[in-house]
Chains A and B, each alone.
Chain A
């Protein structure tokens, strides 16, 4: 909401400084975004007239102009295509600081011809973004006068943010009222107009109360739709509005001064009487913005015999708009329902100052006073005579009666405010207050929407009194439980664990493009966004890996070849709460480390991802099983699924080479995915460990090599060995694996045997070795290599 300081002072008698006013506004909840005085930077610029403009003898695009500054005639070379004889423009003389370039203008020679100044574009003055040639002023602009003053920019412009509950402050008067309540000044009373009604209104009104509870208007005949007076044009220009004509400018003025939108129809273009009703499906309407809209059912429209001529509270129509030749107008003031206005506006995508106010709530009691005030201004500026007013419906009663216990200010707001002060504040804001024994009967003012409960009144009192007066209290009792439950805690543990293994945590979008998702098993319709922000992000991710693969690509493109990333976050199988899964997903690409003087760089391999995956599983102290069936994005021969009974805990493996090609990523790439919320917790976590018995006898190590078929998992071999002597075998290490001919491989294992009650003899060792060999032979078909 933009307004100027002088405009505010038309409603508020105050000696407060700009700074005090700004601070008071922010403290009231009308936060000041920007305070700007363009007059300062625009001070040196004046209005001039181009007496004549001739082509530069040596340059086709340049013109040599003689310019009347009001004091003298200057020669100025100008490159703007729109410079022409007789045009009024904005002049900068040598020595002036040009706002856009921050450079001082000098007398210059352009292609051999001296130029004693410059005519400016809106962009050069920082008044516009784009460059549309030099500013062309109204032919009546006074030569020699300050441009800023003429523009109405010699006033401080204040921009405040208005929250949706404060429609009453979308007019300068409402802002003045709030300020007056804080003691910042005295609110000046509005002039009450008495209109001389000369003739009966020739147009009658009807209104469907669902569409519009209160619809009023009158005809004013014999008007002259001239440009509005200077004071009005300046006001509108200062807040960024373009003056159009007196009739239109007057309605815009009341929109911004009183938050009271009005509309003027050219009465000569109306056919018959006016009715406010709900639209039928597929009615069409050509609006003032030149566009034709197709309406759906139940929008608020104003219609005459020709059909829809206005979208009530949103935008007037093209066929009945006022122009220079307008002589008779029908001025409309109404109360349009906030919700219906919001629905219609949003549905049609029309933004207007009127819609903005009606959907936040326009004071329903301001309809007739607004009609009269605007009538009076039209009569003063455009002449003519007014008819009697016509009214359909009545002022809706939206006033709330609240029983307010002033003790709530302390118990809810934490501040003691004396009862008299509470009364004063509420009355200054327009509330009607009646004091009872321990409570107040408070009636809300007609212009306030959304004040319904005691809590709302507590806020009214507090914001005028100042939130800064509320004393801060130290906050309450101390914790009885840990802030994180074990599942939440686990995520932080997992992050630290994976980072300790050298992986770097990423946070990527929960979005994905459905096309990428297709490489990862596709995506259910339920996860496709109905209104995506871009094609790239048009679905909710069913898997984190595609995002990490894209991250790998991005880093590879920057010349990084040791990549290790993980993300701990959600992925989705459906749009239901149980379709959201908390994952720990990681990826390694290229080399495990960049190499150094001790070690060559080593490419990442399946077993790195396996170690990462197991480091996560280990947190749950679980002993998972595995199998070879993995999702399609893994290399079928180099991946595994980790399971706990029937529950899939996750996967690890090499990424399928086709996926790498599709993502344009250089391999090798390995990855893992763990479903964190599927990892069970021990019922009660005991801190006790089983007691450790340390044997005093020396342990013995023996090496064996077995030949097995290639598809026998090493795991089976180890299990077979352990099974042969579970108590004495302390540890088994695989020290060697190599492939042989005939689809066979050799596995070398080192077995550590720990005697419990006496030192092993050579015979003991022999017999234990034989047991191991026999068990492996029986369980895996493995043969001891001689």
Chain B
């Protein structure tokens, strides 16, 4: 009995003193391993008399369980300590920056176009497009601007060599030819917006030879100037996310609309800014597109995309839109969106 008691306390002491898992494992092998003291003792039990066997067996089993428990406990302790030590040694500087993700940007003009299409889309407009190189007929004549009309001089037009039929070709000076193409091809009711590149021979601080317009056209039997005002007011309220924006419609002149209006926006509590032109489609334009002006009417409007972008995002220099300076594009550009 006492030998077992001594053995027990000896092994328990060794266990508690073990400082590493390997040391602990050695102790376990020495005591409970195949050739360990206790294993050997347990083998001896079989040679004893039944009475002794019973008593010793029970005693040794208890010893074995006690030691196993002690081993497991110490092992968990040491493992925990080892883990803590490892964790302590594995500290990283979390202030270091991660690998950077790609930082692409969408040009502010595309971003604003996307917004404008979305807003007009909700009002039932669909996008129509036409070529940048236009026939004189679509760019001018069909829009009630005959060759000698003074309005032609106000638009510095780029010309390209005429086609074989002598039809002069121009870089479109507005996106209005898209209206003509849409009316000639389609039938009322029509409700389109025509965004795109436009060109005029001007190059100074506030004009670039290429710029972007977005125009709208509605043709049906009853749309009038009240709807035109309502439509543009709704657009500007949504676009600038401010329903207190004030617009002013004042008489203007465009050969392709009658009545015509210029649209001004009250800007920063200080001044009226011209932001677009509009009006009811001129009866001659409807006639030129084989639409009967006795039955059909509607409105058209147009505005500059650069202007809208500059006003909304506080961009000052028009020329930098087209410079491709990465610093500018990164600063004023927009994060891409996830699309389907």
Contact = CB atoms under 8 A, between A and B. Distances in A.
Are A and B subunits of one complex?
yes
Interface of A: 26-29, 31, 163-166, 338-339, 342-343, 346, 359-360, 410-415, 453, 455-456, 458-459, 462-463, 467-468, 470-485, 488, 492-493, 495-511, 525-534, 537, 540, 547-548, 550-551, 554-555, 558, 560, 563-565, 568-570, 572, 575-577, 579-580, 593, 596-599
A558 B328 CA distance: 12
Interface in B78-110: 96-97, 99-100, 102-107, 109-110
A547 B323 CA distance: 10
Nearest to B248: A468
A475 B227 contact: yes
A526 B160 contact: yes
Contact of A498 (B104, B158, B323): B104
Interface stretch (B31-39, B54-62, B117-125): B117-125
B121 A483 contact: yes
B116 to A, nearest CB: 10
A550 B282 CA distance: 44
Contacts of B323: 551, 554
Given A483-B193, A506-B107, 13 more contacts: A31-B252, A163-B252, A415-B226, A453-B258, A458-B280, A463-B251, A467-B261, A468-B248, A475-B230, A495-B336, A505-B329, A505-B333, A527-B160
B114 interface: yes
A470 B249 contact: yes
Contacts of A525: 161
Contacts of B225: 412-415, 462, 467, 470
B325 A411 contact: no
Contacts of B280: 412-413, 455, 458
Contact of B339 (A339, A493, A537, A548): A493
Interface stretch (B6-14, B42-50, B145-153): B145-153
Interface residues of B, number: 93
B132 to A, nearest CB: 6
| 10 nearest CB pairs, A to B | A502-B102, A29-B251, A414-B226, A483-B121, A163-B253, A459-B259, A499-B104, A551-B324, A499-B336, A463-B251
A502 B124 contact: no
B244 to A, nearest CB: 14
B242 interface: no
A477 B223 CA distance: 12
A482 B124 contact: no
Interface in B235-291: 248-253, 258-262, 280, 282-284
Nearest to A356: B150
Given A459-B251, A572-B133, A593 B159 contact: no
Contact of A496 (B171, B228, B282, B338): B338
Given A503-B104, A505-B107, A476 B210 contact: no
B117 A499 contact: no
B104 A504 contact: yes
B311 to A, nearest CB: 18
A342 B150 contact: yes
A531 B298 CA distance: 36
B105 A499 contact: yes
Given A413-B259, A554-B325, A472 B161 contact: no
Given A458-B259, A555-B326, A598-B99, A467 B249 contact: yes
B251 A505 contact: no
Contacts of B228: 414
Contacts of B153: 342, 346
A28 B251 contact: yes
Given A342-B150, A501-B102, A485 B322 contact: no
B123 A479 contact: yes
Contacts of B105: 499, 504-505
Nearest to B197: A510
Interface of B: 96-97, 99-100, 102-107, 109-110, 114, 117-118, 120-127, 129-133, 148-151, 153-154, 158-161, 163, 169, 171, 193, 197, 199, 201-203, 209-210, 222-231, 233-234, 248-253, 258-262, 280, 282-284, 297, 321-327, 329-330, 333, 335-340
Q: Is the interface of B mostly helix, strand, loop or mixed?
A: mixed
A473 B230 contact: yes
A477 B260 CA distance: 24
Contacts of B114: 492
A476 B123 contact: yes
B103 A502 contact: yes
A551 B107 CA distance: 14
Contacts of B203: 533-534
B262 A31 contact: yes
A563 B330 CA distance: 11
A338 B234 CA distance: 41
Contacts of B124: 476-480
A29 B329 contact: no
Contacts of B339: 492-493, 496
Contacts of B97: 596-597
Given A485-B127, A498-B104, A504-B333, A510 B121 contact: no
A572 to B, nearest CB: 7
Given A492-B114, A499-B106, A580-B132, A565 B324 contact: yes
Given A413-B259, A529-B159, A29 B337 contact: no
A554 B225 CA distance: 48
A455 B282 contact: yes
Contact of A473 (B202, B226, B250, B333): B226
Contacts of A468: 248-249
A516 B254 CA distance: 38
Contacts of A483: 117-118, 120-121, 125-127, 193
A439 B20 CA distance: 111
Contacts of B231: 475-476
A508 B322 contact: yes
A413 B299 CA distance: 10
Given A455-B283, A529-B158, A29 B297 contact: no
B324 to A, nearest CB: 3
A350 to B, nearest CB: 13
A347 B131 CA distance: 29
B91 to A, nearest CB: 17
Nearest to B212: A507
B253 A165 contact: yes
A577 B100 contact: no
A412 B251 CA distance: 15
A499 B225 CA distance: 41
Contacts of B169: 575
A163 to B, nearest CB: 3
